[in-house]
Structure 1
Amino acid sequence: MKRCATFVPRYCFQTLHCHPQILSSLIYLPFNISNSSTRKFSFLGSSTTRNFPDYSPKKPTIKDSELVHNISTTIKQRHFEPIERILKAFESKLKPDHFIWVLMNIKNEYKLVLTFFDWFYLHRSPSLEVRCIIIQISVAKKDPKTAHELIHDFWTKPNVDASLPFTLFMEKLIYTYKDWGCNPYVFDIFFEVLVEVGIFNGAKKLFHKMLTYGVLISIDSCNFFLSKLSDNINTCKSTPSIFTEFLKKGVKWNTVSHNIMIHCFCQMGKVKEAHNLLIQMEIRGYLSDAISYSTIINGYSQIGEHHVVLKLMEEMQIKGLKPNKFTFNSVVFLLCKIGKVMDAEKILREMKVPDKVMYTTLIDGYCKNGNVKSAYKLFDEMHSKNILPDYITYTALISGICRIGNISEAYNLFLEMRNREMEVDEFTYSALIDGFCKDGKIKEAFSLHNQMVEIGLTPNVVTYTSLVDGLCKQGEINTANELLQEMCSKGLELNTHTYNSLVNGLCKTGNIVHAIKLMEDMKAGGVFVFPDVFTYTTLMDAYCKKGDMEKAHGLLREMLEKGIQPSVVTFNVLMNGFCMFGMLEDGERLLKWMLEKGKNGIIIITPNATTYNLLMKQYCVRNDMRGASEIYKGMLGNGVFPNGNTYEVLIRGHCKARNMKEAWFLYKEMVEKGYDLTVNGYNDIVKGFIKRKKYLEARSLFDEMRKKGLVADREVYNFFMDVNYHEGNLDLTLELCDEAIEKGIVDKTDV
């Protein structure tokens, strides 16, 4: 019989999963379970405890006794010979009872016991009693690995009769205990194997059964039970009741036990209960450690409780507990989640040995913020430090590059993964398919879909939702519906995002009636999804663009009545509707309403730069720069920072009103803050300076445009060609002329 490698119970579990695509912040919490030499067992003295039964096997006949004596003597005297040779003469006569009687004679010679059992195992299927006897001897001789294997095989090997009831195995182990081993560790091994193979009910019954004999399963084994229960989402809910039940029966839980329970509560999303247990743990006199705090910190990171995380980090520092890499990974994950990626990178710089998880989390964070340049910098840094990016890192980067519309670069990264024979999963494919769909390249997206199916990957609901969204944006609603039917036939449940893609597609093709009907079907419960903020906002946007502000308002009221929290995008859609149709007063009333509701805490939606930009743009269109400036001052007064579009709107507005001093001031401020003007912004400010006869400033900005590769319009090129020609700069005139023709600004016949 082939025996397994040394069994050392060492358990760990993951506390998170931010997203299925990336290991944003994995925490592995190792629990080192002591081995048999250091394991402590408890015997409960009580008047109600029973004694273990005496072993009373069947008595051998005289003939049997003679055979047993001959076999015992032979294997002892000729132990150096192959056992197959020395037992050849006895093979046909040997029965299970004979085997047990021989064991009684040789049980103190452990090597002989194992050799004899291996031989017997090859020729006969050992009875349950024989198996339990060898298990008892193995534990008594401090060989837990053999005992573990024999118990484990019973429940997992197909050639073993595991159909026997669990209670029969337990009773046989109890029956053979007193005379064959008498080491309580055997019940710990049995308990752990039951937990390993998922017979949790059996483990619980064994725990209570052993209490009747005055034996308490060790704390290490009980911790193993808790950790296995908490790892499985289906059994996680029962872990707190086991914790309480075993505590009442005499198990003295330790710090590791409490850490497992903290992890369990976090797994179930009950982070506050986990935090409360940490407090109770310390009140009861148990010492919390870095693992306790790391688990809680990770739990709060998942739900975005930034301030609580900072407070817990301070507590760790006060108690002299050093945050480990898992703690830092959780904090980095949280900072990236709330958009503070630069602060997260500072933590990486402070760590002596940042790991792959932290780099991947930061790369994903920068990509989600649209800062692919910084993501690439970290990606290259990983290579320079011999921290090899894995398929999760690549997927995060591919997703980020697709988000900014650089599909060819994302596809090159994908090919690089394939060339390096890296794992490419359905999430990698889905990210790339989504990128192609957003870029309007539906054929390429479907080609990738077919490719992933060919290599055995199953497209998920995200893959199909991307394809549906791409088809809808191209107006192919019927094809999108066919794809939805294919999804259903494959057993995939459509989610809200899938339906939102259809709603969005219907709205873009002007089919608002069908879009509303689809939302009504969602509300009626015809599908297992419900309209969300995106559904309502999409429909509101469609009504606003049609100028039907009353219906858009009606949808907002319905949202609020149903308790669906509008987003700032929802209000910006309304604001855009008001501004598009010149309803400035209504737009200002909406802004005022948002600010008032935010102060009262009724709807916590802070107007963002886009909200103010929409109003400012409309004032600029009316050439009312005083009104635009008032909105800008209000924006700054409410703590909203201007973005590139804010400066663009104001600069172009001032240029139109010929307020070039204000336009120039805003331009310099814009550059200082790292924003760039668009080509239209440059054209307007250059023309503004030309009209004010500020030719030096105009020339400087024109040269700046050319260096940046931006193409000025025909009027600007004509002006500078004329100026240079009249100044005698023929070479520059010809250069500008060639440039204008090359870029399609002017035709050769115009020159």
Structure 2
Amino acid sequence: MVSSVISLPFVIPNPSTRKYSSLGSASARHFPDYSPKKPTIKDSELVYTISTTIKQRHFEPIERILKPFESRLRSDHFIWVLMGIKNEYTLVLTFFDWFCLHRAPSLEVRCIIIQISVAAKDPKVAYELIHDFWSKPNVDATLPFTLFMEKLIYTYKDWGSNPHVFDIFFQVLVEVGIPDGAKKLFHKMLNYGVVISVNSCNHLLSHLSQNIDTCKTTPRIFTEFLELGVKWNTVSHNIMIHCLCRMKKVKEAHNLLIQMEMRGYFSDAITYSTIINGYCQIGEYNVVLKLMEEMQIKGLKPNKFTFNSVIFLLCKIGKVLDAEKILREMTWQNQNIVPDKVVYTTLIDGFSKTGNVTAAYKLFDEMHRRNILPDYITYTALISGICRIGKISEAYDLFVKMRNREMVVDEYTYSALIDGYCKNGEIKEAFSLHNEMVQMGLTPNVVTYTSLVDGLCKQGEIDTANELLKEMCSKGLELNIHTYNSLVNGLCKFGHITKAIKLMEDMKVAEVHPDTYTYTTLMDAYCKVGDMVKAHELLREMLKKGIQPTVVTFNVLMNGFCMYGMLEDGEKLLTWMLEKGKNGIMPNATTYNLLMKQYCIRNDMHATSEIYKGMLGKGVSPNTNTYDVLIRGHCKARNMKEAWFLYKEMVEKGYDLTVNGYNALIKGFIKRKKYLEAKSMFDEMRKKGLVANREVYNFFMDMNYHEGNLDLTLELCDGMIEKGIVDKTDV
């Protein structure tokens, strides 16, 4: 985006306003005098006749009046004739066009016409003549370049004397891919006291910044040309900032922005957009916010590129709602900025990855309303999101729509759908799609095979998964960490821990290094079989190898301790996590919930309450499971006031009580003979479509029966049968 803004096509500064720097008359060489070959008497007569003929032609076509001279006219004759008509620019071009139809112009002739056209303030013709010569094959050798440059210098003094001609030559050399020639021309012209214009030098900088290899030389050129007299401008600095950002030297680019403002140059929206994009690429969101504030203070309006970069970063770090706010700022506060397909697709992908498919669909519909047509990438992002929430049939319907609209359906689209089917346990359908994509000539990639392997492993079909891996390897695809992790997970899930450990050793041989997920999966397997010693050994191995555990890793250990009643070890682990929390491993709600659940099972509500207080004290927010554990624990201990307080608190925070939570509250109220409160909770539960357990249903059936409410009793009875709580034969 930045390169398209600052990468100039052919830029011709106005010759009347163009200022050329001089190195001083003492050190500068004089341009040579033009001394062409002298004509013979016979040549002079021919030149005089041609000159007189074309000057007196009136409206007759030049082809007709010069017909008699076609066979005799050479380049020397052409130059001699030009000497007499060089101030009649239209006639010069007409004569030159005629000459080119019959002879290939010599390099000297070409350079003379170039000089005349620049002097006549027609740089376009000069550009075309130079570009035509240098766009021919095999003209990038040293000799033609040197010869052309010398001829241009040789014809300069007598035929044009406008230094802008060297700018045009410089720009053409850059455009046709001879930047070294442009640099040689720059240094050559310094000898004559001429510094190539900043616009032309910007053209060179921009060209070099396009390629990551030549990009590295740009800072050196920038410094060198500055020392030799080029007065860089804002555009120059923008190109340099873009170049540094492209090389991932964002802080150096930011430093250059500060330097340019200290030197009196004005930064613009492009300057800031480029820096902001650089920081977005390396994930420095806080710096991005500060730069956005700076733009606002300086009265600079962010452009579409700025917004696109920030939206991309926000989606990347999971702040999709904030990214959507930026979109709204684009569309409402900046009426001249219209978001494009890329922005919408980025947001749709962001919402899809967080499971908020409703928001993704709204943006998808908004694209249609704005006549922004989604492409196959947009559809694939949405399909992937729908698959994540398990609505596979809906994802497939969207896939069919794509095909019906004759849109591109590539391996990524198929892989997203295959992954969805695999995660949903529909392996047959996944393989059917795999076969379909192969028939279409699409090659399944590592992601496709990993999804299939993962699906097979989750169903315990480890042998079939191994066969698929062999097929994958036979096609030249290398197993990645995700493929291996799928196998490790499958083996552990079905109790094959020894095979999983062996597979981890195979990974090391294949130079695929086990990651946090690999170790956490194996630790979880050991914890579930009660081998906490082996789980601890794996943790130590992780830390020794510098593999950073996550909170999930520690929660796996915590779950193991709690499952086997090792609550003291669990509390020690929690203490250790809190001590190390400054280094990034803070316990989350799940960590605390696991401990609280076990203390509730022991009916130790004092210990449970202490852990809960500690959780709040560390700024960890309770979630639905937290409230479910606490409410059920307090109900079991008949602390109904505390349970009711927690229920009201969770409702205020927007959490929904679980079925088990409702059942616990209702039974707790019944035990305390608070029947009105129990009935209120039972009615609320039924309105939400939640099914109470058999004990609760029986209580209210008995209560209504004894109160003479036969209709309600029968209704509850039917409800139990309908919900499958009892069989008809039990009634």
Decide whether the 8 Å contact of 2:205 with 2:236 is kept in 1: yes
CA deviations 1:591-631 (Å, max 9, x no partner) are 10011122xx4x32111112112222222333333322222
Aligned match of 2:550 in 567, 580, 600?
567
Question: What residue number does 2:573 align with?
Answer: 590
Structure 1 residues 324 and 99, CA gap change in structure 2 (3 angstroms) = same
1:439 maps to a residue whose letter is N
In the alignment, does 2:3 pair up with 1:13?
yes
Aligned match of 1:227 in 188, 206, 212?
206
Distance 2:110 2:465 in 1: 62
In the alignment, does 2:612 pair up with 1:632?
yes
Question: What residue number does 2:270 align with?
Answer: 291
**Superposed counterparts of 1:191-206, under 5 Å:** 191-206=170-185
Structure 1 residues 155 and 488, CA gap change in structure 2 (3 angstroms) = farther
**Superposed counterparts of 1:313-712, under 5 Å:** 313-350=292-329, 351-352=332-333, 353=335, 355-356=339-340, 359-384=344-369, 389=374, 391-420=376-405, 427-446=412-431, 448=433, 461-477=446-462, 495-520=480-505, 523=508, 526-527=510-511, 529-598=512-581, 601=582, 603-712=583-692
Distance 1:475 1:52 in 2: 86
Q: If the length of structure 2 is used for normalisation, what is the TM-score? A: 0.84
CA deviations 1:207-265 (Å, max 9, x no partner) are 33333343322212222332333333333333222222222222222222222222222
In the alignment, does 2:266 pair up with 1:281?
no
Decide whether the 8 Å contact of 1:390 with 1:422 is kept in 2: yes
Aligned match of 2:152 in 171, 176, 185?
176
Decide whether the 8 Å contact of 1:53 with 1:175 is kept in 2: no
Decide whether the 8 Å contact of 2:605 with 2:633 is kept in 1: yes
Distance 2:430 2:45 in 1: 81
Decide whether the 8 Å contact of 2:624 with 2:655 is kept in 1: yes
Distance 1:189 1:487 in 2: 56
Structure 1 residues 190 and 442, CA gap change in structure 2 (3 angstroms) = farther
Distance 1:556 1:151 in 2: 70
In the alignment, does 2:288 pair up with 1:312?
no
Structure 1 residues 126 and 450, CA gap change in structure 2 (3 angstroms) = farther
Structure 1 residues 76 and 312, CA gap change in structure 2 (3 angstroms) = same
What secondary structure sits across from 2:213 in the alignment? coil
In the alignment, does 2:221 pair up with 1:238?
no
CA deviations 1:470-526 (Å, max 9, x no partner) are 4444445566556656666766665544444444344445444454455445556x4
CA deviations 1:686-721 (Å, max 9, x no partner) are 444445444444443444344333344444445445
2:287 maps to a residue whose letter is V
Decide whether the 8 Å contact of 2:414 with 2:434 is kept in 1: yes
Decide whether the 8 Å contact of 1:53 with 1:174 is kept in 2: no
Distance 2:711 2:542 in 1: 65
Distance 1:140 1:482 in 2: 77
Distance 1:275 1:469 in 2: 45
Structure 1 residues 492 and 167, CA gap change in structure 2 (3 angstroms) = farther
Distance 1:467 1:97 in 2: 78
**Residue range with higher mean Cα deviation, 651-660 or 255-264:** 651-660
Count the aligned residue pairs. 720
Aligned match of 2:12 in 11, 35, 54?
35
Structure 1 residues 497 and 75, CA gap change in structure 2 (3 angstroms) = farther
2:291 maps to a residue whose letter is L
Decide whether the 8 Å contact of 1:154 with 1:161 is kept in 2: no
Distance 1:431 1:315 in 2: 41
CA deviations 1:295-343 (Å, max 9, x no partner) are 3333333333343333334444444444445444444444444444444
CA deviations 1:543-601 (Å, max 9, x no partner) are 33333333332332333333333222222222222223322211111110011122xx4
Structure 1 residues 222 and 462, CA gap change in structure 2 (3 angstroms) = farther
Decide whether the 8 Å contact of 1:154 with 1:162 is kept in 2: no
Distance 1:433 1:443 in 2: 10
Structure 1 residues 725 and 284, CA gap change in structure 2 (3 angstroms) = same
Distance 1:118 1:391 in 2: 51
Structure 1 residues 553 and 475, CA gap change in structure 2 (3 angstroms) = same
- Where structure 1 has 5 or more consecutive residues not aligned to the other structure, the ranges are 1-10, 15-27
1:628 maps to a residue whose letter is T
Aligned match of 1:747 in 700, 703, 727?
727
Distance 2:349 2:442 in 1: 23
Once the two structures are TM-superposed, the CA of residue 62 in structure 1 deviates from its matched residue by 7.0
Decide whether the 8 Å contact of 1:31 with 1:256 is kept in 2: no
Q: Which has the higher contact order (CA 8 A, sep 6+)?
A: 1
Structure 1 residues 275 and 86, CA gap change in structure 2 (3 angstroms) = same
CA deviations 1:669-690 (Å, max 9, x no partner) are 2222122233444444444444
Distance 1:430 1:124 in 2: 63
Decide whether the 8 Å contact of 1:12 with 1:31 is kept in 2: no
What secondary structure sits across from 2:619 in the alignment? coil
Distance 2:463 2:101 in 1: 66
Structure with the greater alpha carbon radius of gyration: 2
Distance 1:486 1:121 in 2: 65
Decide whether the 8 Å contact of 2:555 with 2:591 is kept in 1: yes
Question: What residue number does 2:168 align with?
Answer: 189
Distance 1:126 1:642 in 2: 85
**Residue range with higher mean Cα deviation, 75-84 or 394-403:** 75-84
Q: If the length of structure 1 is used for normalisation, what is the TM-score? A: 0.82
- Where structure 2 has 5 or more consecutive residues not aligned to the other structure, the ranges are none
**Cα RMSD, aligned residues only:** 4.1
Distance 2:436 2:55 in 1: 66
What secondary structure sits across from 1:215 in the alignment? coil
Distance 1:453 1:83 in 2: 67
1:590 maps to a residue whose letter is L
**Residue range with higher mean Cα deviation, 686-695 or 566-575:** 686-695
CA deviations 1:331-368 (Å, max 9, x no partner) are 44444444444444444445423624655554444433
Once the two structures are TM-superposed, the CA of residue 658 in structure 1 deviates from its matched residue by 4.1
Decide whether the 8 Å contact of 2:134 with 2:140 is kept in 1: no
**Residue range with higher mean Cα deviation, 731-740 or 365-374:** 731-740
Decide whether the 8 Å contact of 1:54 with 1:175 is kept in 2: no
